[in-house]
Structure 1
Amino acid sequence: MTTNTLEEIRRTKLVAIIRSHSSEGIENTVRSLYKGGIRAVEITMNTPGALNGIEKVKEQYPDLLIGAGTVLDAETARLAILSGASFLLAPTLNKRTIETANRYNVPMIPGVLTPTEALAAYEYGVKMVKIFPISHLGPKYLSDLKGPMPFIETMAVGGISLDNAGDYVKAGASALGIGSTLVNDKLVQQGDFTEIEKRAARFVEIINEFQSPTEIQEKSGDGYEGNFN
């Protein structure tokens, strides 16, 4: 599972981060993201009803990668995996959490910032690290980090926007984790899911500029749309 999941994340390059103060809106949010072309979604564990949300979305959208975010410890990692999470993310680096994910053959993408942390994660068996928060460091930090350690794959998270997404891809990011600039809690509360869909589509357009026509065709899928009952 680890290899296939990471291959899909590398290919689509976009992971939408859903972090909310309530479980309401998760289903509509996922539907909007899917219609906009997003094929990987992270539901953070500090969102009420996160585990149930993962289970339900997994059932309704079998071709959508559903991950659990803000996985801070091994126990949470296990619960998320048993609920169907295909990948795990965290803002921090925790060896026991990585060991649990590796035991279940589910990719863990831990949060790191320094070269030392990135190398430690790699030595723990991690295939991709989450550079977080990247917002104050910028795209050049990614290229600087990969200079001496080109074998470390990175997901840039924190402040990724429509204006800078392309710059991070150019700098060598294997993927981008996009939070409030895509899934804005205010939009969810207002029920403006059309805007979320539009933003998702725009991010996909930006990523497609860096991919071949064949890759774009593969990413488009078969047009399946989930049906929440």
Structure 2
Amino acid sequence: MKFTTSSILQAMNGTGMIPVFNHTDISVAKGVLEASYKAGIRVFEFTNRTENSLQIFQELVQYAEKYPDLIMGIGTIFTVEDAVAYTEAGAQFIVSPALIPELAVHCNSQNIFWIPGCATMSEIYAAKKLGATLVKAFPGNVVGSAFVAAAKSVYPDLNIMPTGGVEPSEANLSEWFRAGVFCVGMGSQLFNKEWIKNQQFDLLENKIADTLKIIAKL
């Protein structure tokens, strides 16, 4: 099923949080995906960070077919070649840690939703000129919520998703959402290493559900 840009944006804004995850073991990846979905996640970002990431993603997309409303995307994309490989594998959107013009041109030409990483106002300006409808403030722990607030003051209609350093606590999430974020991306702060190692997916499900409740309240 092909999701439109507007439907992906709506789903991202609806939950307010996108898990960002990678693992070399497909059984672990499936467990994390299932726990995320049960907790209320409807947009999931796998990342291209290991040698077998494409293979894992292909199997994960097939597994996710039992959740027809779950939108699967791929992160850590730097090249058009990788973008092609992952969209052919079923990625519904592309996320990059950087602003890469040729990647933007490719995704626009193929009607693929793409999210560039931006850390300066100049990069945000360039991203908007290239047609970005959502930018990733990255690394979030470096640029901070003040950067988001400043960017929103110049571009009130700008949709921003900070990733990196976002914590599943009410204090941290309040800071980001007060600054005006559209949604947040959350990786290592959400995925407890011991839970993943021991495949304690029920604990992960509860943590994600609690995090979504905090975001809904905010």
Q: TM-score higher than 0.5 here?
A: yes
Unaligned 5+ segments in structure 2 are: none
Structure 2 counterpart of 1:20, from 17, 20, 23:
23
Alignment-mate amino acid for residue 157 of structure 1: T
For residues 198 and 51 of structure 1, what CA distance do their matches in structure 2 show? 24
SS of equivalent to 1:137: helix
TM-score, normalization by structure 2: 0.90
Alignment-mate amino acid for residue 164 of structure 2: G
User: Residues 119-162 of structure 1, C-alpha deviation per residue, up to 9 Å, x if partnerless?
Assistant: 10111111100000011332222101111122321001111112
> Percent same amino acid among aligned pairs?
28
> 1:53: how far off?
3.5
In the alignment, structure 1 residue 6 sits paired with structure 2 residue 9: yes
User: Contact conserved, 1:69 with 1:90, CA < 8 A, in 2?
Assistant: yes
User: Contact conserved, 1:86 with 1:106, CA < 8 A, in 2?
Assistant: yes
Residue 106 of structure 2 aligns with which residue? Answer: 100
TM-score, normalization by structure 1: 0.86
> 1:54: how far off?
4.2
SS of equivalent to 2:154: coil
Note closer, same or farther for the CA distance 1:91–1:156 as it changes in structure 2 (3 Å cut).
Answer: same
Query: How many aligned positions are there?
Result: 210
Structure 1 counterpart of 2:211, from 203, 211, 214:
203
Alignment of 1:1-229 (within 5 A): 1-47=4-50, 48=52, 49-163=55-169, 164-210=172-218
User: Residues 96-138 of structure 1, C-alpha deviation per residue, up to 9 Å, x if partnerless?
Assistant: 1112222222210111100000110111111100000011332
SS of equivalent to 1:117: helix
Question: Is the helix fraction higher in 1 or 2?
Answer: 2
Note closer, same or farther for the CA distance 1:146–1:155 as it changes in structure 2 (3 Å cut).
Answer: same
Alignment-mate amino acid for residue 211 of structure 2: F
Alignment-mate amino acid for residue 193 of structure 1: F
Alignment-mate amino acid for residue 10 of structure 2: E
CA RMSD of aligned residues (A): 1.6
For residues 161 and 127 of structure 1, what CA distance do their matches in structure 2 show? 24
